[in-house]
Amino acid sequence: MEKQSKYLILLIVIFVICIGVFLYQYNNDVVTFMIVNETQVAENGSFSGILMDSYSRGVANKTITYHPPGNQTGEVNVTTDENGEFSIRNAVYTSNSNANYYSNFTFAGDDKYKGCSYDGNVTVIAK
């Protein structure tokens, strides 16, 4: 076998391995991040966010958990739409609470996507 043929076979094997590694990384343990579009919202107002993967695509049909105002121990779930977006409508202002903000937005992850969280809060302003 000629020396050039050996190099060609070696290059083809390396190329196939690289494609396999890329496809594995693209489909397994994909990093996610979350963006929430507001830091303040008026009482009864709404705000939204998006769950995205490391390729800047929205992650559809995933559960986001968060803590509503005045209830920092209980969690509420919302599901992302086909574009990875989620909305929280009718923001609640609790007059007897010092914690009038939505917090701890979290995606737990699954077999394809790694979990992530949004560290900020969305404060609810009384009307």
Q: What CATH number is attached to the domain comprising 111? A: 2.60.40.10
The answer on 43 and 25 residing in a single domain is no
The answer on 77 and 67 residing in a single domain is yes
**Model confidence over 40-72: pLDDT tens digits?**
999 999 999 999 998 899 999 999 999 988 766
The answer on 74 and 13 residing in a single domain is no
The answer on 106 and 53 residing in a single domain is yes
C-alpha to C-alpha distance for 94 and 88, rounded to whole angstroms: 16
The answer on 84 and 60 residing in a single domain is yes
Q: Which two tokens stand for residue 14?
A: 């390396």
The answer on 53 and 11 residing in a single domain is no
| Signed CA dihedral, 76, 78, 84, 85: sign only | negative
Domain count across the chain: 2
Quote the DSSP letter at residue 126: P
**Model confidence over 77-114: pLDDT tens digits?**
999 999 999 999 999 888 776 778 999 999 999 988 99
The answer on 98 and 56 residing in a single domain is yes
Beta strands 40-42 and 122-125: pairing type?
A: parallel
The answer on 49 and 20 residing in a single domain is no
The answer on 20 and 38 residing in a single domain is no
Residue 13, domain extent:
1-30
The answer on 90 and 54 residing in a single domain is yes
**Model confidence over 76-85: pLDDT tens digits?**
999 999 999 9
The answer on 107 and 86 residing in a single domain is yes
